[in-house]
Copies of this chain bind each other. A is one copy, B any other.
Amino acid sequence: MSTTLPAPDLATFFNPASLAFVGATEDISKFGGRVMRAVLEFGYKGRVYPVNPRYATLLGQPCYPSVSALPEAPDHVGIVIAAHRVLDTLKQCADRGARFATIFTSNFSETGEASGRALQDEIVAFARANGIRLLGPNCNGFINFVDAFAFASTAAIKGPRKPAGDVGLVCHSGGLGQMNIMWRAQEAGLGITYEVSCGNEADLDAMDFMRFMIDDERTRVIMVAVETIRDGRKFAEVARHAADREKPIVMLKFGRTDAGRRAAASHTGALTGADEVHDAAFRQYGVLRVTDCNELYEVAKLLRRRKWPRGSRAAALSGSGGHSVLMADLGAANGIDWVPYQDQTVNGLRELMPDFAGVSNPTDLTSALTGSKHLFEDALNVVALDEGVDVLIPVLVAPTVPAIETVVKLSDNTDKAVAVLWTGYCPNDPLVVASTLVARGLPVYRDALTCLKAVRAAMTYGEFLRAHKRAASEPPVRPAGIDVAQAKELIATGAGNMTERSSKEVLAAYGLHITQERLATNTQNAASSARDIGKPVALKIESPDIPHKTEANAIRLNVTGDAEVARAFDEVMAAARRYQPEARLDGVLVQEMAPGGVEVMLGVASDPTFGVVVVAALGGIHVEVLRDIAYRIPPLTAADALAMLRELRAYPIFGGVRGARPRDLDALCDTIVRLSWLAHDHADTVAEIDINPLTVLEPGAGVRVVDALIIRKQEPTT
């Protein structure tokens, strides 16, 4: 929607000097009454103008019949009157020069009806034309803890105002965001800066608010819970900006399931819109995806310390063998490396515990912990100096207050990330609990898996930031041997499906290795083409109207000898004519039989959210049944291509299994890079590319594009 608009300055939106509220009432059984109360009770310090023609005063404030009647132009106008009356109020706002409005009112596009949609389009068009930026409609406003301004109706802010902190929150839903995430995060000891419930996102959208929070000095982590991402390009820009400022975005994106349902077909085109593309895009942009509301703030607990792990090497110290085994197990399952300690660390620990036979990690300090006052502190300090450890995980069960303070001190003083697993309580001061420590900045977790998932998220973010910085200094470079103009000309020669041969010519213009082949138009040149190629050949119909040649039975494989080739030519032509009598037949492609290798499917597809996407998988069952597919948004570097292949469960096949030879991964990565540039350069004209199969040969022998299909965006006119 607002992609092309510049990033709005939302400082006044969040902290207006003056506020009008159209539809205010004293009746707290009404939404307008509850929002009015929230404004007054939460501590808004600006000037408030309730607007309602039915009252002269309201909650002790003078009340106005209309925005036009206000004594000054309000910075921000809230609107909770019926949908059909909203436009009239906006007109008054425009007349007075108000710059921001929050429309709580429902019955716009969310109804799914044309009238609601039209009403919404009308108010957005008016607001755009008159320089007013809108939150909503159909939203539950926002809460600004920094300036004590709540503009929402929610039980989540009842009682004394909670202190502002360093975590921001952007949601579509009000109920879910304000209670499940914001209130729960606060109960867990975190402080919120801003919470926004975006509703229909008719004008300002989730990404505008994310951007505001990225630029906000106080906000260190941004939690986001949305049902849809309306604009993938804008999302990418905002995420890049967040990465530049090292502000992690933790994301709960619903809709995995619908995607799963859609994701059944085999066609590359059908691979788009899949939730897996969101996964891939989030990974690529450094957005940390989680699966439930609580994970948002659990991950934020650790990230807000802004100590980015340099790798995935962790150490855990506990006083119980059970905890050590549990941590070892769950950590390894979540991609955390329990590295052996450096010699100095092992020696240091042995000095503390002379009975230690072997010092392993996770480290069980055994019941000796109960007998010694300083063992835990001393052991932690020894391990904190180990340069092979990126994240330190002290495990507490029933610690003393001094033991807890040791951990707080360590966490503040070390440059390693420290995540604490505390499964029990503090016997000598039951008021010291996880949330009081979280409020003091210590990331404390109650459950091992939650702790380790947060640690893994921090490691992933650290990895991402390193890659992001490298990419900033070395952006993807177009490989040599690409002829953009030639590819452009080939693509422009028609519309709709390209034939196999012309598709391959486009690929060849980007330096992809295609099978040796000739187009034959009669039996004689079919036979001579086969002789030129000098090995067994395949014959395939070449027709822009028959993209699925196997279905038409218009393929013959492994043909040798003049007579056989000639017969195969006639058979293929006849089969094509039978299959589709009106099809344009350009001839028969005589093609070398590709040597045996691992067959890969590469593709380019258009995702409705993220645009052009590069797709890689093994062929056949791996795509359709096993859904073992990797996605990336182009252009890509060779490192990106390799990372993409490594995401495939079937990846080890390229290294050779069951005594098979390994495969030419360099050539495969180079092919993916070239394809990604093709996708990038011709995103406006190419709808889809299918390379299926690409045969990957032994190291040094390269790859061969055996079959390919390019579908242009422009439909054929016939």
Q: Which residue of B lies closest to A423 (CB)?
A: B180
What does the 1/0 interface line of A217-230 toward B look like (CB < 8 Å)?
Answer: 00000000101000
- The answer to whether A323 touches B175, judged by C-beta atoms less than 8 angstroms apart, is yes
- The answer to whether A175 touches B624, judged by C-beta atoms less than 8 angstroms apart, is no
A701 to B625, CA, bound (A): 24
Q: What's the minimum C-beta distance from A106 to chain B, rounded to whole angstroms?
A: 8
Q: Which residue of B lies closest to A427 (CB)?
A: B155
Q: Which residue of B lies closest to A291 (CB)?
A: B449
Other-chain residue from B158, B177, B425, B551 in contact with A427 (beta carbon distance below 8 A):
B158
With A293-B447, A332-B257, A649-B626 known as contacts, the answer to whether A424 contacts B325 (CB < 8 A) is no
- Chain B residues with Cβ below 8 Å from A183 are 424-425
- The answer to whether B155 touches A398, judged by C-beta atoms less than 8 angstroms apart, is yes
- The answer to whether A657 touches B173, judged by C-beta atoms less than 8 angstroms apart, is no
Other-chain residue from B254, B325, B371, B449 in contact with A329 (beta carbon distance below 8 A):
B254
- Chain B residues with Cβ below 8 Å from A320 are 173-176
Q: What's the minimum C-beta distance from A231 to chain B, rounded to whole angstroms?
A: 20
- Chain B residues with Cβ below 8 Å from A449 are 291-292
A293 to B652, CA, bound (A): 34
What does the 1/0 interface line of A135-175 toward B look like (CB < 8 Å)?
Answer: 00000000000000000000110100000000000011111
- The answer to whether B266 touches A330, judged by C-beta atoms less than 8 angstroms apart, is no
User: Is A319 close to B, CB under 8 A?
Assistant: yes
Q: What's the minimum C-beta distance from A397 to chain B, rounded to whole angstroms?
A: 5
User: Is A353 close to B, CB under 8 A?
Assistant: no
User: Is A184 close to B, CB under 8 A?
Assistant: yes
How many copies are assembled? 2
- Chain B residues with Cβ below 8 Å from A225 are 322
A residues 627-669 near B (Cβ < 8 Å) are: 628, 649-653, 657-659
A292 to B174, CA, bound (A): 31
With A328-B257, A650-B626 known as contacts, the answer to whether A179 contacts B294 (CB < 8 A) is no
Other-chain residue from B29, B322, B450, B658 in contact with A172 (beta carbon distance below 8 A):
B322
- Chain B residues with Cβ below 8 Å from A173 are 320-323, 325
A66 to B158, CA, bound (A): 64
- Chain B residues with Cβ below 8 Å from A326 are 176, 254, 292-293
- The answer to whether A175 touches B293, judged by C-beta atoms less than 8 angstroms apart, is no
Q: What's the minimum C-beta distance from A714 to chain B, rounded to whole angstroms?
A: 29
- The answer to whether A180 touches B657, judged by C-beta atoms less than 8 angstroms apart, is no
Other-chain residue from B176, B323, B625 in contact with A657 (beta carbon distance below 8 A):
B625
A292 to B446, CA, bound (A): 11
With A158-B427, A330-B291, A427-B158 known as contacts, the answer to whether A658 contacts B176 (CB < 8 A) is no
- Chain B residues with Cβ below 8 Å from A628 are 626
- The answer to whether A332 touches B260, judged by C-beta atoms less than 8 angstroms apart, is yes
- Chain B residues with Cβ below 8 Å from A179 are 397-398, 423-424
- The answer to whether B626 touches A294, judged by C-beta atoms less than 8 angstroms apart, is no
User: Is A448 close to B, CB under 8 A?
Assistant: yes
* Most B Cβ at <10 Å: residue of A551, A621, A653: A621
Q: What's the minimum C-beta distance from A318 to chain B, rounded to whole angstroms?
A: 8
A620 to B29, CA, bound (A): 66
A330 to B294, CA, bound (A): 13
- Chain B residues with Cβ below 8 Å from A425 are 155, 183
User: Is A255 close to B, CB under 8 A?
Assistant: yes
A691 to B141, CA, bound (A): 65
User: Is A563 close to B, CB under 8 A?
Assistant: no
With A172-B322, A323-B175, A626-B626 known as contacts, the answer to whether A292 contacts B424 (CB < 8 A) is no
- The answer to whether A329 touches B255, judged by C-beta atoms less than 8 angstroms apart, is yes
- The answer to whether A447 touches B294, judged by C-beta atoms less than 8 angstroms apart, is yes
- The answer to whether B293 touches A448, judged by C-beta atoms less than 8 angstroms apart, is yes
What does the 1/0 interface line of A350-375 toward B look like (CB < 8 Å)?
Answer: 00000000000000000100010000
A677 to B3, CA, bound (A): 66
User: Is A45 close to B, CB under 8 A?
Assistant: no
Other-chain residue from B227, B624, B650 in contact with A625 (beta carbon distance below 8 A):
B650
User: Is A84 close to B, CB under 8 A?
Assistant: no
Q: Which residue of B lies closest to A652 (CB)?
A: B625
Cβ-closest 3 pairs across A and B: A173-B322, A176-B322, A175-B320
A-B contact pairs, 6 of them (CB 8 A): A176-B322, A256-B333, A291-B330, A292-B448, A621-B657, A626-B649
